[in-house]
Amino acid sequence: MTTSSTPGRVPVVWSPDTRLHEPRHEIWVGAATPAVEVPARVDAILAALEGHPRHEATRHDDAVLSAVHDEGLLDFLATAAEAWAAGPYAELVGQDRVVPYFFPTPAMTQGMTPTPAVALHAQTGRWCYDTMTLVGPGTWPAARSAIDVALSAADLVAAGERTAYALCRPPGHHATRAGYGGSCYLNNAAVAAEALRRSGHERVAVVDVDAHHGNGTQAIFWDRADVLYGSVHVDPGAGWFPHLFGHATETGTGEGAGTTRNLPLPEGTRDARWVEAVGELADWAGSAGCSALVVSLGVDAAADDPESPLLVTADGYRGAGRALGALGLPAVLVQEGGYHLPSLGGLVAAYVEGHATS
C-alpha cells in the first residue's frame, strides 16, 4: 500500500476490459455515423501517461454501484446485449447493437401508468434517452470494469495517495440514476465520489471540465448536501448536448440547494476565460469545506476535438490542472470524453501534470 506520493507521479489505474466496448455507430439525426468513443482511446492515453506508475483495477462488489444506480438500469445493461442476440434482430435488421426506437416520454403516457413493454426494442427507450449510445456484447464488461477502475483509484486515495488517475472507458457523466445516454452507461465519477464519502470524507466536490455538462452527475447529487457538483461546459442554451441541463440557473434543491454550480460558456471561448472558470469552480469547492475532490476529466473542450466549440489548448488543460491541484485535496481524476486520437493523450497528460505539480 502506498502511503506517500512522489511529487508529479500519479498512479494510473486502468483495466484491459475497458477496451471491450465497441459502439461502432452513433445514430444521429436518423443517420448512422461512425462512433468516436472508440477502444483506441485507452491506448492513446496509456501511451501518453507512460512515465507514471500503472495499476490494474481490482474487482469490487456492487455495493457502491447500487447506491448510485437503479437496479433496473443495472439489470438492463447487464443483460441487454445477450437478450438482443437471442432475439430476431440479426435476421430482421442485420445488426447486433441494442438501440432504442421508442421512448415512453410523458407526452405519450400523459399521466397514465404504462405496463412495461414486452419487446426488447421497446424496453430500451425506458433506460436510454438518446440514439447515440449503443449497447454491444462488450459494453457491460467494459462499463463494469470502468467502475472497478474508478473504485480502485478511490482506494488508492483513501490509502494516502494525494492524486490517482482513473482511465475509465466508456465515460460516465451523462449517466443518471436510472438512465444512460451521451456515450455513457454507468457514472464512474459519481461512484468515485460516493466511495470517497464512504471512506470518511464528509463533503466531496465533483468538478467537471468535460466540454459537455455532466447532467447525470448533476442529477444524481441534485438534492444532496454532501456531494457538490460544479461544471464548466459549452452552453446548452446555444444548442449543445445535453440540451436540457447545464444552465447557470440550476443550483440544486432541498438539502442540495446551492450545491450545484454551472458555468456555461459560449462557443469559441478559448483558454483564458475557460481556465478562469475552472478557477472559479476550484474556489467554490475549496470554500465549501470539501475534503476530497473528483475531477470529471473530459478533454473534448480541446481545439482539435471533433465538434469542439471551446478551443482549449494543452496549456489550458495544464492551467485547469494547476487550479484544481492547488486546492491540495485528495483527488480522483476520472476520464470522461475526448475523441481526437492524436492529441487526446497529450491533453490528459497536460492536465495530470498541472494538477500533480501545483
Q: Which residues are catalytic?
A: 174
Of residues 86 and 244, the one with the C-beta less far from Zn ion: 244
* 296: contact with ligand SP5 by CB under 6 A: no
Q: Taking the complex as a whole, how short is the minimal distance between the CB of residue 216 and ligand SP5, in angstroms?
A: 10
Of residues 194 and 210, the one with the C-beta less far from ligand SP5: 210
Q: How far is CA 347 from the centre of its chain?
A: 17
Of 73-81, 89-97, 176-184, 320-328, the window that binds ligand SP5 (rule: CB under 6 A) is: 176-184
Query: Which residue's CB atom is positioned nearest to Zn ion?
Result: 337
Which of 15, 139, 176, 183 is close enough to bind ligand SP5 by CB under 6 A? 183
* 184: contact with ligand SP5 by CB under 6 A: yes
Which of 17, 194, 208, 210 is close enough to bind Zn ion by CB under 5 A? 210
* 212: contact with Zn ion by CB under 5 A: yes
* 304: contact with ligand SP5 by CB under 6 A: no
Among residues 317, 287, 285, 280, the alpha carbon closest in space to that of 302 is found at 317
* 336: contact with ligand SP5 by CB under 6 A: yes
Which of 194, 250, 271, 300 is close enough to bind ligand SP5 by CB under 6 A? 300
* 267: contact with ligand SP5 by CB under 6 A: no
Per-residue interface string for the shown chain with ligand SP5, residues 27-56, x marking contact by CB under 6 A: -x----x-----------------------
* 149: contact with ligand SP5 by CB under 6 A: no
* 192: contact with Zn ion by CB under 5 A: no
Which of 337, 345, 346, 354 is close enough to bind ligand SP5 by CB under 6 A? 337
**Looking up cell 467554490, which residue turns up?**
284
Q: CB–CB of 120/87 below 8 Å?
A: yes
| Total chain residues near ligand SP5 (CB under 6 A) | 14
CA angle 39, 339, 60 (to 5 degrees): 50
Which of 37, 235, 271, 300 is close enough to bind Zn ion by CB under 5 A? 300
Q: Give long-range contacts, CB 8 A cutoff, 24+ apart: 87-96.
A: 87/120, 87/121, 89/121, 96/136, 96/137
Site for ligand SP5 in 218-257 (CB under 6 A): 241
Q: Taking the complex as a whole, how short is the minimal distance between the CB of residue 133 and Zn ion, in angstroms?
A: 13
Of 161-169, 181-189, 229-237, 276-284, the window that binds ligand SP5 (rule: CB under 6 A) is: 181-189
* 210: contact with ligand SP5 by CB under 6 A: yes
Q: Taking the complex as a whole, how short is the minimal distance between the CB of residue 191 and Zn ion, in angstroms?
A: 18
* 354: contact with Zn ion by CB under 5 A: no
Among residues 191, 183, 244, 190, the alpha carbon closest in space to that of 213 is found at 244
Q: CB–CB of 218/250 below 8 Å?
A: yes
**Nearest-angstrom CA–CA distance, 151 and 60:** 7
* 216: contact with ligand SP5 by CB under 6 A: no
* 37: contact with Zn ion by CB under 5 A: no
* 305: contact with Zn ion by CB under 5 A: no
Contact positions vs ligand SP5 (CB under 6 A): 28, 33, 171, 174, 182-184, 210, 212, 241, 298, 300, 336-337
Interacting residue ranges for Zn ion, rule: CB under 5 A:
210-212, 298, 300, 337
